[in-house]
């Protein structure tokens, strides 16, 4: 059986926004043996999920069963590959599913159509309820092979929503499916922040009467206080090792940035300005913290080290800048910049040269950006009409897609890669 490790002849140096996409033929998955009705349903879901995952990446132009109907297949591999090639495809994705002891198995392969060589082969097996997971795992492997960076199909986003009338914290898969509430305080809960190790989410809630920072353990569902002293604590942001958090706290109306251990101990104040200092974001390298400060008159994004020194301003456009989010390499910061009247747009500033590009437009305000762990996408909260929804766009710019629709949905925070 051909597996991985063959010569990567069609590996492309793919960068966000590059025009040349890989042309991929993805015919219907083959079924081995007979599937029970449940397995057949799972198999359909699996195949659709693989295709959707690969579509979402933006790195492929995919010909599915409909586009490939013109291919005259005989079952002879060389002949069939030539047929796919004749339709303009460069690579071929084949899937074969079968049922085994009440579980579904997928064998996925990718071939280089020019050489006819198998370049990737993976086998997955799991219960019918795990078919989306299996599809995501395979799709992420395919993306890893072609880009050198794992796909994001197994990642999730945290956000908050008023769909029940209260504001609760929710999770959803990267594609907006499987939305589920993880708080039920029946209050205002907001500002979720993923622990980089994926075990917990820190958030702000008012259920005890004043905004304070809590943490929900995602395994057990247990919630516990993180920072509740004082009158107003907000905007938690985990350090990359997950052991500490940066947050903002009001000292009688003067909001300052602090850091503390996960359990609230080891409190340390980092800012000392009479202006508002809030919304910290710990850099992925662990050495810097971006935050918003009105010390210069209007809210702007600043970066300091974790001692609170070496401060510099990094936002210079717009009349109001807030919501800094680091790209996974720590080289760029996305934030919301008020560029059109009172409306915000998502901009990205390169920290080395301080050049800034604007990524959004549209009828309403766009705020609260967050990067996918591969750096190829940015999710944000976009106002359209009277509603705010989470949208996803390529970080290089391009068309965006709404991934929420129920109620208003704010403040997305993208998870890290799940543990392998």
Question: With respect to other proteins, which residue has the nearer C-beta, 147 or 189?
Answer: 189
**Please, which residue, 234 or 283, has the CB nearer to other proteins?**
234
- Measured from the CB atom, is 25 or 204 closer to other proteins? 204
CB 4, min distance to other proteins, A: 44
Smallest distance from other proteins to CB 265, Å? 18
Q: How far is the CB of 386 from other proteins (least distance, A)?
A: 6
Query: Residue 216 or 276: which CB sits closer to other proteins?
Result: 276
Closer to other proteins at the Cβ: 227 or 368?
Answer: 368
- Shortest distance in whole angstroms from residue 46 CB to other proteins: 38
Tell me how far, at minimum, the Cβ of 334 lies from other proteins, in Å. Answer: 13
- Taking the least distance from each CB to other proteins, the nearer of 83 and 161 is 161
Cα radius of gyration (the chain): 24
Distance CA 13, CA 62 (A): 18
Minimum distance from residue 212 beta carbon to other proteins (Å): 11
What are the Cα distances from residue 120, in Å, to 92, 111, 210? 10, 7, 54
CB-wise, 260 or 336, nearer to other proteins?
Answer: 336
Q: In angstroms, what is the minimal distance from the CB of 68 to other proteins?
A: 47
Helix 37-57 to helix 131-147 angle (10° resolution) is: 30
Which residues contribute to the site for other proteins (CB under 8 A)?
166-167, 186-188, 190-191, 204, 206, 208-211, 230-232, 234-235, 248, 250, 252-255, 274, 276, 278-279, 292, 298-299, 320, 322-323, 336, 342, 344, 365, 367-368, 386, 410-411
């Amino acid at each position: 059986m051909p597996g991985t490790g063959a010569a990567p002849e069609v590996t492309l140096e793919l960068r966000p926004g590059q025009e040349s996409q890989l042309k991929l033929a993805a015919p219907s998955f083959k079924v081995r043996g007979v599937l029970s009705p449940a397995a057949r349903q799972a198999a359909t879901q699996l195949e659709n999920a693989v295709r959707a995952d690969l579509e979402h990446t933006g790195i492929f132009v995919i010909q599915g069963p409909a586009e490939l109907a013109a291919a005259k297949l005989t079952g002879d591999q060389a002949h069939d590959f030539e047929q796919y090639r004749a339709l303009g495809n460069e690579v071929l994705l084949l899937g074969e599913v079968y049922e085994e002891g009440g579980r579904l198995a997928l064998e996925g392969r990718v071939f280089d159509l020019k050489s006819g060589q198998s370049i990737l082969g993976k086998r997955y097996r799991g219960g019918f309820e795990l078919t989306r997971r299996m599809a995501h795992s395979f799709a992420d492997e395919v993306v890893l092979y072609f880009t050198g960076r794992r796909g994001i199909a197994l990642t999730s986003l945290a956000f908050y929503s008023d769909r029940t009338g209260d504001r609760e914290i929710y999770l959803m898969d990267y594609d907006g499916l499987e939305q589920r509430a993880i708080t039920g305080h029946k209050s205002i809960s907001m500002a979720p922040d993923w622990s980089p190790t994926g075990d917990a989410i820190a958030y702000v809630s008012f259920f005890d009467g004043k905004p304070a920072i809590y943490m929900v353990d995602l395994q057990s569902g247990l919630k516990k206080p993180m920072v509740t002293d004082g009158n107003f604590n907000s905007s938690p942001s985990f350090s990359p090792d997950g052991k500490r958090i940066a947050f903002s706290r009001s000292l009688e109306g003067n909001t300052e940035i602090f850091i503390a251990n996960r359990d609230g101990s080891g409190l340390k104040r980092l800012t000392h300005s009479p202006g508002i200092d809030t919304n910290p974001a710990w850099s992925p390298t662990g050495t810097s913290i971006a935050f918003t400060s009105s010390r210069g008159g209007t809210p702007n994004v600043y970066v300091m080290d974790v001692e609170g020194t070496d401060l510099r301003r990094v936002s210079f456009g717009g009349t109001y800048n807030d919501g800094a989010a680091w790209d996974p390499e720590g080289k760029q910061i996305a934030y919301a910049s008020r560029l059109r009247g009172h409306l915000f747009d998502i901009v990205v500033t390169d920290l080395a040269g301080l050049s800034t590009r604007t990524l959004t437009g549209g009828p309403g305000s766009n705020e609260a950006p967050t990067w996918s762990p591969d750096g190829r996408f940015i999710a944000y909260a976009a106002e359209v009409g009277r509603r705010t929804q989470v949208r996803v766009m390529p970080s290089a710019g391009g068309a965006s897609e709404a991934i929420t629709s129920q109620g208003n949905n704010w403040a997305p925070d993208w998870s890290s890669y799940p543990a392998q």
